[in-house]
Amino acid sequence: MPEDRLKDYRAKRKRGATPEPGVDGKGAAGADGEGARFVVQEHHARRLHWDLRLERDGVLVSWALPRGIPLDPEQNRLAVHTEDHPLEYIDFHGEIPKGQYGAGTMTIWDTGTYEAEKFTADKIVATFHGERLRGRYALFRTRGDDWMIHRMDPPDPGREPLPGVIEPMKATLATLPEDDEGWAYEIKWDGVRALAYCEPGHLRLVTRNGKEVAHRYPEVRGILEQLGAREALLDGELVAFDDEGRPSFQRLQRRIHVESDAAIRRLRESTPVTYMVFDLLHLDGRSLMGLPYEERRAELEALELAGPHWQTPACHRGDGAALLAASRERGLEGIIAKRLGSPYVPGKRTRDWLKVKNVRGQEVVIGGWVPGKGRREGELGALLVGYFERDGKQRRLRYAGKVGTGFDAAELRMLRERLAPLERDDSPFEGRQPEKGAAFVDPELVCEIEFAEWTRAGTLRHPSYKGLREDKPARDVIREKPAEPPGI
């Protein structure tokens, strides 16, 4: 009987080409469910998954779990029934060579014993006694060869699930703090802010406006390999770098609007992105948002997240002036100052996080455009932009001027295409109005600009277009004014 049970196992493996046990041998006799053994192996193959194997009738009955073991009864997770394995496999760990079935690294994630209440061809109910896998679970067939694994016990006491979609904490435009004590400083990354919801086998990247964009940046998915079975909520920035290694929001524009799988694969090679992780909000069932920044940062650094497309950039305690000067020499946008004792407050703009810029920048709402002249005749000549101002409970769009530089031909075409369905007859601006001959649009698109200064009339002087910001809702765009430097 064991010989027949291992026929598929041996057929998928080449004798002498893999270190896996039992390729030629027979399965040994084993227990029959009462105190029988189990193993969970973490398998870094083409896709990371976990293999659950139960000792039964002289073999290891096996399932592949693409998203690991569920820790909450609200989560049913896929279990792919695979071929039976020999009992000797319960101790196997090592490297399956490239080119062989299941090539990759196999490690033992947990092992122990289990007691089966039910063990049929369609359903198994068992209690597991391991260090990590503990409690009562059900494995059940859904249709065909599809199975699911379900936790039957309640969650562990005190365990908190990953939160739903939250809005990132915001920084206030300011100058450096008067006293460095109690502050840490980081480089300000010129990219797209995104929260990373990391669960075994599943990544969500959510921008400031709640949009899910992980499919646009498949190279970042590799961070799950490093986290393994851990569950985390990270805060960071998606960044594209120029040829000198500086963050380039304009280069990132090539990736932001792309939806085609084929185009994403091409751009992944020509314009790769890196996820710069600077905060840790949730880890393995614990919310860290109430902890001081320096404690969250210590737990983040302990994860040692570093890979080809994800990094944990350095932070510096004190001496913000030196880091600001170094960022200026490198041609970077500026730095972020974070108060060491500050909690993480989702969606709030506080004085505990400060952005200190080398270049004056502003997010603005597009409310219209004017036709081009000369070389640009018949094309978009300049964008008409503004910002929202509160007036009691109302938000009014105030005109801030024209942006007519910083575009290339491809960007102009893209902007015309994006603005066309938003056209309207009347001006969305209240108060001062742009020149005659303007075409108006609903104020929904946000772009980022650099500029020299604000005039007394509230107009941008010498603004230059940097790119659209799809990660920011238009209603949140206000005129940013530097706050007074905080003390300690």
Q: Confirm if 473 and 395 have CB atoms less than 8 A apart.
A: no
> Which one of 123, 188, 466, 472 is the catalytic residue?
188
Q: For the chain, how many helices (H) and strands (E)? A: 8, 30
Q: Which residues of 454-465 are buried (b: 16+ CB within 10 A; e: fewer)?
A: beeebebeebeb
For residue 401, give both structure tokens: 């001027």
Tell me the pairing of strands 170-173 and 349-357. parallel
Residue type, 157: P
Q: Confirm if 354 and 336 have CB atoms less than 8 A apart.
A: yes
| E strand segments, 87-241 | 94-96, 104-119, 123-130, 134-143, 146-151, 170-173, 183-187, 192-199, 202-207, 232-239
Residues in the chain: 488
State the burial class of residue 202 (Cβ atoms within 10 Å of its Cβ: 0-12, 13-18, 19+).
middle
For residue 477, give both structure tokens: 């765009």
Is 472 catalytic? The answer is no
CA-closest candidate to residue 315, choices 188, 191, 208: 188
The rounded distance, in Å, linking the Cα atoms of 20 and 89 is 7
C-alpha angle 54-60-65 in degrees, rounded to nearest 5: 60
What letter would DSSP give residue 158? T
| E strand segments, 327-391 | 334-339, 349-357, 361-371, 380-391
Alpha-carbon distances of 168 from 125, 153, 279, 293, 431, rounded to whole Å: 41, 33, 10, 14, 32
Q: Confirm if 430 and 395 have CB atoms less than 8 A apart.
A: no
Active-site residue list: 188
